[in-house]
Structures are given as C-alpha cells and as structure tokens.
Amino acid sequence: MRQEIEDYVRSLGLDAYVVGGAVRDELLGLESKDADFLVPGVDTEGLRAALVPHGRVEDLVVADRLVGVRLHPRDGRIRKLTRAGIDFTPPRKEVSTGPGRHDFEIVADASLSVEDDMRRRDFTVNAMARRLETGEIVDPLDGRADLEARRLRTVSPQSFREDPLRLVRALRFVSQLGFEPDEELLAQMREEAPAVKLVSGERIGGGLAADGMGELSKLLLGAEPARALRLASGTGVLVELLPEFGPAIGFDQESRYHDLTVDEHTFAVVQAAADAGFSLPVRLAALFHDLGKPPTAWRGTDGRLHYYAKPGFSERGHDQVGAELAGGALLRLRYPNALRQRVVRIVRRHMFQPGKGDALRARRFLRRNGDELAVDLIAAARRDRAARAVPRGGGAGALEPASTARPRCRRERPHQARLPVRPAARARPPRAPRRGRGGACAEHPRPAARPREGESLIRWQLDGYQVAFTTRVGGVSEGPYASLNLGRKSGDEVERVDENRRIACEAIGADVAKLALNYQVHSTRVLRAAAGMHGEHADGLWTDEPGRPILALSADCLPIVLARENGDAPAVAVLHVGWRGLLEGIVASGVQALGGGKLAAAIGPGIGPCCYEVGEEVAAPFRERFGDDVLNESRLDLWTSAERALRAAGVERVDRFDRCTACEPEMFFSHRRDAGRTGRQGVIAYVTG
C-alpha cells in the first residue's frame, strides 16, 4: 500500500521526501499509517497550486497554525488507500515573537533545506527523511544510530517547549516502541512538565478524530505502559497531566491485600491488562481504579487502612470516588462520551469478584451489565487481583489467560442466551417524583426513578395504568441488537424481536397478542389502538380499552406517555417524538387525542443535550418556539423542549427521566452513537381497568 502511495506522489512532479514516523517505522520493519511528505523549494500556496489539478486540497492546520496542505486525490484507487488524505508541507522554522521563552511560532519557509526542517522536529528518530526520487536518506542528527540503539533523544533543548504534547509522545514511544530516554531528555521533561497542561484535551486523550486515540491512549495500548507511567511519575509529567494521581503517589495502602503503594499497584494492573491484551476501556479503568483510596481511607480497629464506605468513617467507598475521578479526568481530556461512560462503570464496579456465586448470580450480573461490559469487568477484576502480589518495580507475574473471561461468562447463560426479566415483573419499583405545579415555574422537576439493579424496565407509577420504558437489557437478540430489541425493521431476526416483545409485555402483565404499534414516520398522527394494529403510518397511539397494550419505539427520539388523571374514563397515549414531530405538533396531537382535561406525562430516555448536536436549520426554529436556552451552542435540549411543549398543551404533571441514550451504551440503543445499526427500546402502556 505504501509503495502505491509513493508511486502516486512521485507522479505529481514534486521533489517530495517521506518524513518523520514513516521513515522511522520503515527502518524498524513496521507498517506505517503515516502519509506525510515534505516538499522543499515550494511554499504553501505553491503546493496548493500544484496539487489542485489532482484533487481536493484543504489547509493542514496543527495547533491553530497553517503548516501545509492536505490532498484528497481524485484518483479513486489512491483515495481508498488514503481516506484521511495525503499531507504535504514545505520546510518550517522557529521565529521569535518576543522576549519570553514561549514567545515564538513555527512558520513555513520555502528557502529552507530538508536538513533545516529535520532540526526542528521532535526526536532524532523522527528527524529523518527519504527522497522519493533517489531513495537517499537524509539524517543530519544521527537518528538512525539512535534507532538501532533504541535511544530516545530530542533534537534540541527547546523541543518540549515548542510543543508540550511531545512530553506525552515521548512516553508513548517508551511504551509502544521500547525506547530508552537519555538523561538529557529526562532532565528536559522534568523542567517542562508543567507545560503539558497547556495541551488541548483531545490531543492527549479524545483524539483529533474524536476516536479516543490521543497520545495517552496510544501509551496505554503499547507493550510497556508501566515503564512509561513510572517515567511519567518520576519526571512530574503524570501529576501535571492527571492531578488525580497526586495523592496516590507513594501512598502506602497498609492492607493485608496489597504490598504495593497505590501508584505502583496501579502501574502493575495497567501492565497486567496490557500483557493480557485487554481493550482500551479496561486499560483506562486500570489506570483510575484505585485513585479513590487516599481520600476515602480510614483506620480500623485492626490498625489497618480500609477503603469501603462505613457510617462515621467514610461516606463513600474508593470505587465510587474513583469512578468520579475517572469521569472528571476523561471529560477534561475530551474522551468520547460512550468510552468515558464505559470506563466509569468499570471503575465503579471493579470490586466485583469473578468466580464467586452460582448461575443465578451470573445471570443477574449479565442482566445488569450486558455482555460486553460484563467481560470488561471480569477482565479488570482479574488483573487487579493478579497484580496484588507483584513485587515493587517488577513485572506482572503469572496471570490467568485472557481467554478465560468470556467463556466462563457464556457458560452461565441460560438457553438461547435469554436473560429473564422476572425480577422486573415482580418487584414494586420506586414511585415517580411528585408532579410539578404551575406552568413554567414547575419546569425541571426532580427526575423520575431509575430502574432497580438487575431490572430491564424503568417504571412510571400512575394509578390505573401500567407503564414501562424498556432498555436494551433482558432480551434474546445478539450483536448490535443485544439484547431486548423491540424493532422489527432494525435488521434483527424477526423471531428474536417477537420474543423480546413477549418478554417485555409479560414483565408488566400485558398480553402480547393484544399489542398495538405504528409504523413510525416522524409525523403528528395519533391513532386509536385496535386489535392487530401494527403497520399504520403514525407516531402516536392511544387507548381507553383495559388490557390493550400500546407501544412506541425509539432509539434516540423521545418516548413520551400521556394519561388522564381525572379519576374517571382512564385513557393512555404513547408518542414517538423526534425534533421534527416536536416542532410540527405531535405533543398537542397526543393531548387532543385524549380529549384534554387533567393529564400527566412522562418523558422517557432519549438523546440528551450532552450529545445531540444539530445544524442551524434545526436550531433556529427551536429557539423561536421553545426559547434560546434549549440550545447550548449546537447542542439541543430535546428533554426541556418536550416538557415545554407538554405544558403549553395544558399538561400539569410532567415527569422526566433525563437518561441520555447516547451516553449509556450498556443500557440503551442509540441511532446516532451506533451509526444506525442498532435496536429499538420504547414505552409500553395500558389501562389496568
């Protein structure tokens, strides 16, 4: 693949050089994903003019600086090989802009030589170039010798000052490529460590492509993360990067279960997770899992420190505090919501003890967490326990093979992988909050109750009705539809969907044979439910017939239920409410279908203002209709907009669950998060009679 790209660049008539990581990886015998080329003797505008005939050209901007151009080739074959484009840059140099040590900028200069450009790069092993035309290697700083010695040196004392991200990149090379920093580099790291706080979060954590693959993630995914983390700790970079680590450095756990300090134990667990080949969420969770110990420690009558919650000693356990610390750090580093939420859940539940309990406990564990999170939790717990006996400064020791986690979990599953929902059917769930009063002043009531642990339904309590919002937990579907998918047109097997609908109906005491639902089309139509109704084009159903269950599906749109609350003539409606239906009046149609009067409503799980980004064509009518505050920059608060629509239609009681489907991949399907390949949850309701 690389040869094809180089042949193509050679055909453009530019005197181009392969530079940086591509040359390094080539000499190491590694496959490189980089497609970066240096072109001397041409400035940025000259590059643009030369490349425009060959495809779409855009500015290449790094750290708010124009450094070159990116070509998206017109040649379809090459475009498939370089989906992110091919980067071309002229030589660059450092120019002083003031008297201070940080007063400079990097500017393109076509008159510079290739050697001059190499001297302003980060590390000597990256300061090599290969001329496409002749194959000549340009190596003015002996990077090849450093490469052979696996030695990491900066190209100048100002290297970290020019771009503090290089502090984390150096650590990543230690973990990923096995380099050994020289003493001069370590001294520079100690001096410049505070500057790492100046780097944008996405460059360190979330990744410029919002894929979670910033430098910290690459470090953790390397072969030797513990060695890199110890170097980060010793140079001060770790605490500057993650202040949450401060109290953990050197903290003696004084525990019969741990011989290591919190930081050394953490490094050992991260290394154990790497040795076992576990995923990024598990490795991130390993990094944060015990950071809650210092602030929650209390001394027991045995003279030792303990870290669990106990009245009068510590209000919360270290797993709770650690989860909060992880969530805050990952948010600051701009990690994607789904990844952040997954890591937080692993940290919060890492005290789970694999191997204990019977099949019933295993089924409850799977039902609560879902397959993927359950496997991650088992993985994290095993690495944590395996690392307890690791000698200080040593390796991970003998660990159980990673492959044992999933099969053991699978063997505990019942026939057809179905997770029963009987606990949800039997238990009396918590009541919803007291209803709001008095129009606009009652907005933002206390959120409605969440499901109990192990339950697959979120109940809404209202006398005379059975109402439940489903989750993705507790069904028989697999893959992206796991497991309680209620949508037949999602791509799932129809037989599994039908079984899921039976499970959900049974959980609230409904007869699935009487179930009615629509073919949803983002309209304002609300129809009266009838026997056998499954394909009418509409987005709402209502019924006053006792025992007739009605269902509205969703996977980011809001499921909303309306019910008469006047004591006689009970009737209930379920609505599928997206942005289009909300603007066009689906809520008012639902209220009208029930004939007005005293109504109560509940807004179920849907995409939240944290994740729902919209264009101006959607934002403008929402501002006009529901107020400026339903938009935070480009993020739309669909929950509040729906509540205001309900109150405007005369609904007095509005309960909200405020659960974001995009943020909770273990609990909900999300069309946006999963790029359309996902299942459907919904709301089921009926009059009890």
pLDDT at 400 over 80: no
For range 310-325, the mean pLDDT: 90
pLDDT at 465 over 90: yes
Cα–Cα distance, 189 to 232 (Å, whole number): 9
pLDDT at 102 over 60: no
Q: Which two tokens stand for residue 401?
A: 């093979």
What is the per-residue pLDDT for 93? 74
Cα–Cα distance, 464 to 598 (Å, whole number): 14
> What band does 197 get if pLDDT is binned at 50, 70 and 90?
very high
pLDDT at 670 over 60: yes
Among 132-146, 251-265, 336-350, 481-495, which is the least confidently predicted range? Answer: 251-265
What residues does CATH 1.10.3210 cover in the chain? Answer: 247-413
456-687, superfamily in CATH?
CNF1/YfiH-like putative cysteine hydrolases (3.60.140.10)
pLDDT at 390 over 80: no
pLDDT at 578 over 80: yes
> What band does 94 get if pLDDT is binned at 50, 70 and 90?
low
- In sequence order, the 6+-apart residues with CB closer than 8 A to the CB of 459 are 429, 430, 449, 451, 467, 468, 469
Cβ-defined contacts of 203-206 (< 8 Å, 24+): 203/165, 204/165, 204/168, 204/241, 204/333, 205/330, 205/333, 205/334, 205/335, 206/333, 206/334, 206/335, 206/336
Q: What is the largest CA-CA distance in the chain?
A: 89
For range 279-290, the mean pLDDT: 92
What is the per-residue pLDDT for 252? 93
What residues does CATH 3.60.140.10 cover in the chain? Answer: 456-687
Q: Which two tokens stand for residue 157?
A: 């004392």
Q: Which of 115, 130, 132 is nearest to 15 (CA)?
A: 132
DSSP-assigned letters across all residues of 343-404: HHHHHHTTT--TT-S-HHHHHHHHHHHHHHHHHHHHHHHHHHHHGGGPPTT----S---GGG
Question: pLDDT, tens digit, for every residue of 172-192?
Answer: 999 999 999 999 999 999 999
What is the per-residue pLDDT for 394? 38
User: Alpha-carbon dihedral of residues 47, 48, 50, 51, nearest 10 degrees?
Assistant: 110
What residues does CATH 3.30.460.10 cover in the chain? Answer: 1-146
What is the per-residue pLDDT for 622? 94
Which top CATH class is 247-413? Answer: mainly alpha
> What band does 23 get if pLDDT is binned at 50, 70 and 90?
very high
What is the per-residue pLDDT for 668? 95
For range 423-427, the mean pLDDT: 32
Q: What percent of the chain has pLDDT over 70?
A: 82
> What topology does CATH give the domain 150-241?
Hydrophobic Seed Protein (1.10.110)
Q: Which residue has the tokens 């240096």?
A: 38
Residue 282 carries which side chain, given as an amino acid letter?
Answer: V
Cα–Cα distance, 512 to 510 (Å, whole number): 6
Question: pLDDT, tens digit, for every residue of 543-567?
Answer: 999 999 999 999 999 999 999 987 6
Cα–Cα distance, 573 to 554 (Å, whole number): 15
What is the per-residue pLDDT for 392? 37
Cα–Cα distance, 35 to 20 (Å, whole number): 10
Among 83-97, 285-299, 303-317, which is the least confidently predicted range? Answer: 83-97
Q: Which residues are bridge partners to 60 per DSSP?
A: 68
For range 629-645, the mean pLDDT: 94
User: Alpha-carbon dihedral of residues 90, 93, 98, 99, nearest 10 degrees?
Assistant: 170
> What topology does CATH give the domain 1-146?
Beta Polymerase; domain 2 (3.30.460)
What residues does CATH 1.10.110.30 cover in the chain? Answer: 150-241
Q: Which two tokens stand for residue 648?
A: 């405007």
